[in-house]
Amino acid sequence: MKVFIDTNIPMYAAGKEHPLKACCLDILRSIAQGNLNAFTNTEVFQEILYRYFNINQRDYGLQIFDSFSCIMDGCVLPIKHEDILLARQLTSKPTHTSLSPRDLIHLAVMHNNGIERIVTTDLGFAKIEGIQVIYPSSK
């Protein structure tokens, strides 16, 4: 089962104490141990850098980037021209209005790579037909 890992998973795992921290850490451990066939894309790494640079936590953001990059080694999908064109097409669907431009790019990459499941805390994906959303839950 291929799954897409959204940006919020490594960020919750690396963040302060939160009800989702432990389960997000478990997800990353599962990926690192090879128990989860997980993929992400280059935009996720841009989002991590953008967030932490923007809140003046550059070094911490780079640590998260590096750790997640090691875990996802070989499973980081590029964003191609066909992906951004599909993301643009998806903007016209009424069910997709709850998605941000970044999420539309994630969705397009998923479609173009045959990935039908996403691990995320983002509720916007719930309305998307053909996508199974896996929400981390606190223990």
| Residue 67 reports pLDDT greater than 90 | yes
**Is 129 domain-assigned?**
yes
**Is 94 domain-assigned?**
yes
Q: Which long-range contacts (CB under 8 A, 24 or more apart) does 76-84 make?
A: 76/39, 76/40, 76/41, 76/42, 76/45, 77/39, 77/40, 77/41, 77/42, 77/109, 77/113, 78/41, 78/42, 79/41, 79/42, 79/43, 79/105, 79/109, 80/112, 82/112, 83/108, 83/109, 83/112, 84/108
**Is 139 domain-assigned?**
no
pLDDT digits (tens, 9 = 90+) for 73-94: 999 999 999 999 999 999 999 9
Query: What CATH number is given to the structural domain containing 111?
Result: 3.40.50.1010
Q: Which domain holds residue 81?
A: 2-134
What's the total number of domains in the chain? 1
The whole model's pTM is what?
Answer: 0.94
